[in-house]
Chains A and B, each alone.
Chain A
Amino acid sequence: MGIPTKQKTEHSSVPDDLFVPLNKDSAQLENIVRPSVGFWKDAWQRLLKNKLAVAGLITIIFLTIMAIVGPMLTPYSYSEQTLSNQNQPPSAEHWFGTDNLGRDMFTRTWYGARISLFIGLAAALIEFIIGVIYGGISGYKGGRTDNVMMRIVDILYGLPYLLVVILLMVVMGPGLFTIIIALTLTGWIGMARIVRGQVLQLKNNEYVLASKVLGANTSRIIRKHLLPNTMGPVIVSMTLTVPGAIFAEAFLSFLGLGVSAPVASWGSMANDALGVLNTGHWWRLFFPAFFISLTMLAFNVFGDGLRDALDPKLRR
């Protein structure tokens, strides 16, 4: 067995005139094989390679567009009742059928998409703002401030999330904005912990110290070191907050604590369908159930892909 890649050379077969000093290309000596790629560009490229994540992103875009234009595609409004048209199966007039009050399911489904996506995005955004401020202050100040702030978070963290939300909804009464308030009143805790942990870790990291020693000012440290490293986990957490909030809204609406009556939401539509399960009106359950699952699936898959793409340890 020989060496696979190269043949051992016989002395005599080598031409004599090659025994002269090698003319070296000195630039080649320290060349770096791989071109350097910025963090975000690299993350984006890796995200695009993940087919599931791309499918998730496309689905999210599709759902958002449909949430905006969907209700306008039909001549019906989400609350318009036509009692002669009760429980019609899907047809050319009513693409997703009608419910027990003769309301058009297609319009209601996409109107529900508006509610769900709005709640999801609003919750993620508010949690992001509160979490970054609270966690950032706690982590950056450190010491006593950090201690007190984190004790408070620890207690709140021990509370059962959905139970607290239910309680708040009972107290505040149903409605779109009370849902968002109830969700974010307890939901920011996770984000605050992530941000604080990241800030704390990075503050004392050697490369931050190193750049301090090299004379970088605070804004440069925040811009070049803290932000890129903190934003990864924060963005992932935001992406995964959206399906959680959508689920919570559906859950609350399902319990009758969600949006008020004529307004359509996927949770309340599913709840309405509970009574007609055995009647064969499958479209009553199918459409809200399908789209709520699809939305959560899309956000989960996209969030997972984002997490993988933004993980600096996975960089190659």
Chain B
Amino acid sequence: MTEKLLEVKNLAVSFSAQGGEVQAVRGVSFHVSKGETIAVVGESGCGKSVTAQSIMRLIPEPPGKIKGGSIHFNGRDLAALSEKEMQKIRGKEIGMIFQDPMTSLNPTLTVGDQITEGLLTHQDISKADAEKEAVDLLRLVGFADPEARLKLYPHQFSGGMRQRIVIAMALVCKPSLIIADEPTTALDVTIQAQIMELFKEIQEKTGVAIILITHDLGVVAQAADRINVMYAGEIIESGTVKEIFYDTQHPYTQGLLASVPRLDGDRSKPLIPIYGSPPDLYSPPAGCAFAQRCEYAMEVCSKYAPPVTYLSGQHQTMCWLQDERAAGMRGPKVTIK
């Protein structure tokens, strides 16, 4: 197994709000090896973005707070670093890409200014050299005439082009890890494919590791090496793409897969939605958070939190159905060929 670049252990993040505390992330553990792409998948509000922002220590404090756990990156615990030390990691060793390219660029500064700014902050480099780097990067992300683009303002680009600029910005200091938080959600489907292709290309050229945060399993299938499925602030199943797609264990993951439209599948089969909504994280349920929506739910699920079951080297899940006493409780397994 390759060297671990990032290892998150038992991360717990809460937001204080009127009348209590929202436990957005409740004990999440995963790791990223050098040069690989892992995906964190889940519906909105499951805590995936909070996890991503916690790694960068970007959650607003207050009201947010990292309540527990560790985030080891290149041997250092990011959760324990001071703001000053963290500034040296952000942008330099970990780059971040946000969801909406329309709003994540400053409208009053030129694109060149915004790309070079990271370099000028972290490296002892002249403005002219920084601009040269920016030109190279813009070419890498697919601009034909990068020199002319540097002088333009964000509003002069389309959404897809802006996302390329944001990617260039994240790459500027040659980080070893990029966190992409829903990088394609705000884009047209055709552009989405182009951007995902670009990620692959960049990874081949630079060897950067990527954490891909998304709610879209379709995006993940081609891009990621491993998948973590999050629900209500916990990772409920994780494994390689193959394991998640072809040997699905957790009913929630099954539900997710069943609700993804497919072009190559059996079209006479209807898409199956997951009924209900996630629990209120003000007061998380004592048992499994998915129990109320789960079609295989047992009495035990509502009373006791399910333990982690290790199925193979990579594959693990948190579900009572894995207990031998639950044999026969599961109906026909939903697998997609």
Q: In this complex, which of B67, B275, B294, B299 has the most chain A Cβ atoms within 10 angstroms of its Cβ?
A: B299
A18 with B303, Cβ < 8 A, contacts A2-B68, A29-B293, A30-B277 known: yes
> Which residues of B line the A interface, CB within 8 A?
9-10, 12, 18, 23, 26-27, 67-70, 275-277, 280, 284, 286, 291-294, 296-308, 320, 323, 325-326, 329
Binary flags per residue of A8-20, CB closer than 8 Å to B gives 1, else 0: 1111001111111
A6 with B284, Cβ < 8 A, contacts A1-B69, A16-B325, A22-B297 known: yes
> What residues on A are CB-neighbors of B296 within 8 Å?
21
> Which residues of A line the B interface, CB within 8 A?
1-11, 14-24, 28-30, 33, 316
> In the bound complex, what is the Cα–Cα distance between A11 and B322 (angstroms)?
10
Partner of A19, one of B27, B276, B291, B325: B325
Closest residue of chain A to B303, judged by CB? A18
> In the bound complex, what is the Cα–Cα distance between A4 and B300 (angstroms)?
21
Is the pair B275, A29 in contact by a Cβ cutoff of 8 Å?
Answer: yes
> What residues on B are CB-neighbors of A7 within 8 Å?
305
Closest residue of chain A to B283, judged by CB? A5
Is the pair B323, A11 in contact by a Cβ cutoff of 8 Å?
Answer: yes
B138 nearest CB across to chain A (Å): 36
Is the pair B300, A14 in contact by a Cβ cutoff of 8 Å?
Answer: yes
B329 nearest CB across to chain A (Å): 7
Q: How would you classify the secondary structure of chain B's contact residues: helix, strand, loop or mixed?
A: mixed
Is the pair B307, A11 in contact by a Cβ cutoff of 8 Å?
Answer: yes
> In the bound complex, what is the Cα–Cα distance between A15 and B67 (angstroms)?
31
> In the bound complex, what is the Cα–Cα distance between A28 and B306 (angstroms)?
21
Is the pair B26, A19 in contact by a Cβ cutoff of 8 Å?
Answer: no
Is the pair B276, A29 in contact by a Cβ cutoff of 8 Å?
Answer: yes
Is the pair B293, A3 in contact by a Cβ cutoff of 8 Å?
Answer: no
> In the bound complex, what is the Cα–Cα distance between A239 and B18 (angstroms)?
30
Closest residue of chain A to B293, judged by CB? A29
> What residues on B are CB-neighbors of A8 within 8 Å?
305, 307-308
Closest residue of chain A to B69, judged by CB? A1
Is the pair A21, B323 in contact by a Cβ cutoff of 8 Å?
Answer: no
> What residues on A are CB-neighbors of B26 within 8 Å?
3-6
Is the pair B297, A21 in contact by a Cβ cutoff of 8 Å?
Answer: yes
A5 with B284, Cβ < 8 A, contacts A10-B307, A22-B297 known: yes
> In the bound complex, what is the Cα–Cα distance between A10 and B308 (angstroms)?
10
A2 with B300, Cβ < 8 A, contacts A19-B329, A22-B291, A28-B292 known: no
> What residues on A are CB-neighbors of B292 within 8 Å?
24, 28-29
> What residues on A are CB-neighbors of B277 within 8 Å?
30
A4 with B298, Cβ < 8 A, contacts A19-B323, A19-B329, A21-B329 known: no
Is the pair A30, B276 in contact by a Cβ cutoff of 8 Å?
Answer: yes
> What residues on A are CB-neighbors of B286 within 8 Å?
6
A20 with B298, Cβ < 8 A, contacts A1-B10, A4-B12, A8-B307 known: yes
Closest residue of chain B to A19, judged by CB? B325
Sort A-B residue pairs by CB-CB distance and give the 9 closest, nearest first: A3-B27, A18-B300, A22-B297, A18-B299, A29-B276, A9-B304, A19-B325, A6-B305, A1-B68
> In the bound complex, what is the Cα–Cα distance between A283 and B276 (angstroms)?
69
> What residues on B are CB-neighbors of A20 within 8 Å?
298-299
> What residues on B are CB-neighbors of A22 within 8 Å?
291, 294, 297-299, 301-302
> What residues on A are CB-neighbors of B302 within 8 Å?
22
Is the pair A33, B280 in contact by a Cβ cutoff of 8 Å?
Answer: yes
Closest residue of chain A to B9, judged by CB? A1
Q: In this complex, which of A6, A8, A24 has the most chain B Cβ atoms within 10 angstroms of its Cβ?
A: A6
Contact sample, A vs B, 29 pairs, CB 8 Å cutoff = A1-B70, A2-B10, A2-B27, A3-B26, A3-B68, A4-B26, A4-B68, A5-B26, A5-B284, A6-B26, A6-B305, A8-B305, A8-B308, A9-B305, A9-B306, A10-B307, A15-B300, A18-B304, A19-B300, A19-B325, A20-B298, A20-B299, A21-B296, A21-B298, A21-B299, A22-B298, A29-B276, A30-B275, A316-B18
> In the bound complex, what is the Cα–Cα distance between A266 and B323 (angstroms)?
83
